[in-house]
């Protein structure tokens, strides 16, 4: 197994992980920022006020984006399994 093959496999794995995690992380970041601004303006410092909206919106994004996420993961897994004979030889 060459060094270039290891680098390519690592790069593909990291890009796939980023593509799968990015939508939910961006939503959590946006909701957290919005809730923090609202908490600062109203001076309400309740921890559950930040946690519950993030949980609901990230869960909703996961459910809505699940078909797309599965397509990405299936495509990556299929390409990885199809490339195994070339990696061994």
Token pair, residue 66, equals 């699940």
Residue-wise pLDDT tens digits, 17-74: 999 999 999 999 999 999 989 988 988 888 788 889 999 999 999 999 999 999 999 9
Residue 1 CA from chain centroid, whole number: 29
For residues 23 and 67, what is the distance between their CA atoms, to the nearest angstrom?
Answer: 13
Residue 45: domain span: 3-88
Which pLDDT belongs to residue 1?
A: 74
| Predicted TM-score (pTM) of this structure | 0.80
Domain count, the chain: 1
Quickly list H helices, the chain. Answer: 3-42, 47-88
For residues 26 and 53, what is the distance between their CA atoms, to the nearest angstrom?
Answer: 14
Tell the residue number behind the tokens 């908490």, with chain if given.
39
């Amino acid at each position: 197994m060459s060094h270039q093959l290891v680098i390519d496999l690592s790069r593909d794995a990291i890009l796939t992980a980023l593509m799968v995690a990015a939508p939910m992380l961006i939503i959590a970041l946006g909701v957290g920022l919005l809730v923090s601004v609202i908490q600062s303006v109203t001076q309400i410092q309740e921890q559950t006020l930040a946690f519950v909206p993030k949980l609901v919106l990230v869960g909703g994004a996961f459910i809505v984006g699940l078909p797309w996420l599965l397509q990405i993961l299936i495509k990556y897994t299929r390409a990885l399994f199809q490339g195994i004979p070339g990696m061994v030889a």
